[in-house]
Amino acid sequence: MSDLSIPKPYVRPRRLRRTDAIRDMVRETMLTANDFIYPLFVTHEKNTKREITSMPGQFQLSVDNAVKEVQLAKDLGIPAVILFGIPAEKDNLGSDTYSDNGIIQQAVRAIKDSVDGISVITDVCFCEFTDHGHCGPIAKGTVDNDATLELLAKQVISHAKAGADMVAPSGMMDGMVAAIRAGLDSENYEDIPILSYAVKFASSFYGPFREAVDSAPQFGDRRSYQMDPANAREALREAELDVQEGADMLMVKPAMAFMDIIRQVKDTFDLPLAAYNVSGEYAMIKAAAKLGWIDEQRVMMETLTGLKRAGADMILTYFAKDAAKVLRG
């Protein structure tokens, strides 16, 4: 050893990793419960709490059970939930989405009536509500972009009327943010912010979600409206359009395979940025943990911390309650 005259390191990063107290002192990224948005699946059925097979710990909830879940989230310090709906009837237009008695409208009213101090965000799309499973009405074998814009405006007005605090369009239609802003403003909902799924990729990580809400497309796929996972420049262009159209916050989705996109959007725009840690990302961690191959709690915290470090100000995650409990100690 000594013969090799290897120089002794003068700079030693390990000095700052020596004790818990020092590691705590130099930690750069801090996760808090305030970073989470908790997605919930609300079904039209009564008295229901049905676990989703591919998403252990997540449920299809009847309205009364959804209210209880929101209260639990609020008690854990989670600032917002986002609602997805399973309607009684699906049709070509997804008309449940803009009916005052639609499942989302019922859920929003019930939650706002009984839980204070937590924001209710509505996912604004059609795929859970159309009989064909696409994100807008079909014309000539594909989603009719401009016809969808009008229906989106009707949908958000109806959500706002029910009491939604924020709307989150996820359909990747061109012009959707401008259409929604115009719709809301025309009914004096100027104060309702838009969290735009600005950069949403056509991803296979959505598999378990489609089981959860029975929204798999009945023909074709979503690649003519959601983005190609290979494209980063296009992601910035999509985000820029939504900023111009009046988005208040941006989202990148999915999260784990797209952390470079999260970072680039964060560095390019100064709007608050959300990342969606989607159903397949949740399912993979759950499945590997169940097999005993990884430590679920540590992998969960490492993933969420990584997303925040990559630039997410907020994380939509099915782990919200579990992670908030860990953070509470």
Catalytic residue numbers read: 200, 253
Based on CB atoms, which residue is closest to ligand PBG, 202 or 299?
Answer: 202
Q: Is residue 170 involved in binding ligand PBG (CB under 6 A)? A: yes
Span of 17-25, 90-98, 123-131, 136-144 interacting with ligand PBG by CB under 6 A: 123-131
Report the 10 Å Cβ neighbour count for 91. 13
Q: Which of 35, 69, 96, 123 binds ligand PBG (CB under 6 A)?
A: 123
Considering the complex, what minimum distance in angstroms separates the CB of residue 278 from ligand PBG? Answer: 4
Beta bridge partners of 119: 80
Considering the complex, what minimum distance in angstroms separates the CB of residue 127 from ligand PBG? Answer: 5
Q: Is residue 60 involved in binding ligand PBG (CB under 6 A)? A: no
Q: Which of 61, 104, 127, 273 binds ligand PBG (CB under 6 A)?
A: 127
Look up tokens 């262009």; give the residue: 237
User: Is the bond preceding 39 in cis, omega lying within 30 degrees of 0?
Assistant: no
Span 202-221, contacts to ligand PBG by CB under 6 A: 206, 209-210
Q: Which of 125, 151, 261, 265 binds ligand PBG (CB under 6 A)?
A: 125
Considering the complex, what minimum distance in angstroms separates the CB of residue 240 from ligand PBG? Answer: 22
Q: Is residue 199 involved in binding ligand PBG (CB under 6 A)? A: no
Sign of CA dihedral 225, 60, 117, 314: negative
Based on CB atoms, which residue is closest to ligand PBG, 279 or 303?
Answer: 279
Considering the complex, what minimum distance in angstroms separates the CB of residue 84 from ligand PBG? Answer: 7
Long-range contact set of residues 227-230: C-beta below 8 Å, sequence gap at least 24: 227/172, 227/199, 227/200, 227/201, 227/202, 228/201, 228/202, 229/201, 229/202, 229/203, 229/257, 229/258
Span of 40-48, 107-115, 121-129, 263-271 interacting with ligand PBG by CB under 6 A: 121-129
Q: Is residue 37 involved in binding ligand PBG (CB under 6 A)? A: no
Considering the complex, what minimum distance in angstroms separates the CB of residue 70 from ligand PBG? Answer: 18
Q: Which of 111, 278, 307, 324 binds ligand PBG (CB under 6 A)?
A: 278
Report the 10 Å Cβ neighbour count for 76. 18
Tokens in use for 42? 């609300």
Span of 45-53, 107-115, 119-127, 289-297 interacting with ligand PBG by CB under 6 A: 119-127
Q: Is residue 129 involved in binding ligand PBG (CB under 6 A)? A: no
User: 200 CB contacts (<8 Å, ≥6 apart)?
Assistant: 170, 172, 226, 227, 251, 252, 253
Count of residues near ligand PBG by CB under 6 A: 10
Q: Is residue 201 involved in binding ligand PBG (CB under 6 A)? A: no
Interatomic CA distance for residues 276 and 259, integer angstroms: 11
Considering the complex, what minimum distance in angstroms separates the CB of residue 129 from ligand PBG? Answer: 9
Nearest to 74 by CA among 38, 48, 24, 107: 38
Position 89, amino acid:
E
Q: At what angle do helices 320-328 and 63-75 cross, to 10 degrees?
A: 30
130: which DSSP letter? B
**Which residues are near ligand PBG by CB under 6 A?**
123, 125, 127, 170, 206, 209-210, 222, 278-279
